Amino acid sequence: MSFSEIDDLRLAIDEAVILLLDGIEGGEQTEQEIRVVFRIDRGALELHAERSVEAALDNAAVHRFDAITAGLIDDYDLDQERGWVRVRKIAGADDD
């Protein structure tokens, strides 16, 4: 991956963590951990992050995540009810 692609991925990962920590529906604050799994496959890096405490993601936080990361990564998926997110970045995809 180029420096630019790595920097985009870094920012998307930051936003995923912010989404999971600050994006709890109702604003309730509980002690929790975030479990992160990285996968590398055929030039793509994928990150799956989930909270130790299941809680719905706030709509505003999801919209913010989408607005910031849409142009940075190639794909993402999330479960708004259980509170997990997956981001994917493919090396060289920005060259298209």
pLDDT score at 76: 93
pLDDT score at 26: 57
Q: What is the pLDDT of residues 73-91, one digit of tens each?
A: 999 999 988 889 999 999 8
Please enumerate in sequence order all residues whose Cβ is within 8 A of that of 89, keeping only pairs 6 or more positions apart, or say none: 1, 5, 8, 9, 12, 44, 45, 46, 72, 73, 74
Phi, psi of 89 (to 5 degrees): -130, 130
Classify burial at 65, counting beta carbons within 10 Å of its beta carbon; exposed 0-12, middle 13-18, buried 19 or more. buried
Predicted TM-score (pTM) of this structure: 0.82
Q: What is the pLDDT of residues 31-58, one digit of tens each?
A: 778 899 999 988 899 999 998 878 888 8
Report the alpha-carbon distance of residue 91 to residue 44 in Å, rounded.
Answer: 6
pLDDT score at 87: 94
Phi, psi of 72 (to 5 degrees): -95, -30
Domains and CATH numbers, the chain: 3-95 (3.30.565.10)
